[in-house]
Amino acid sequence: MRGTARLEPVHGIVPEYAQAAERYFGSEQGKAWVSQLATMIPDMMRIAIPPEWVALLDFQTRFPSALPL
């Protein structure tokens, strides 16, 4: 994927960050982590890259193995 990166200021915790914390730590501990972090970090930045070009590398058909299986 290629595109031009943009920085987007977000007041508070970026929602995607909170979702990732809950998925990683579990619901209860993730929410506790985000609550604690919110007291230390007033703002965050989101890095957004709208796709301008996308390609898929299919390693089975485009780059077959040199070794027989």
Reported as a single tens digit per residue, the pLDDT across 4-59 is: 999 999 999 999 999 999 999 999 999 999 999 999 998 999 999 999 999 887 77
Distance CA 43, CA 5 (A): 19
Between 14 and 69, the higher pLDDT residue:
14
Record the tokens describing residue 12, joined without a space: 């508070």
How are beta strands 43-48 and 6-11 bridged, if at all? antiparallel
Predicted local confidence at residue 67, as pLDDT: 59
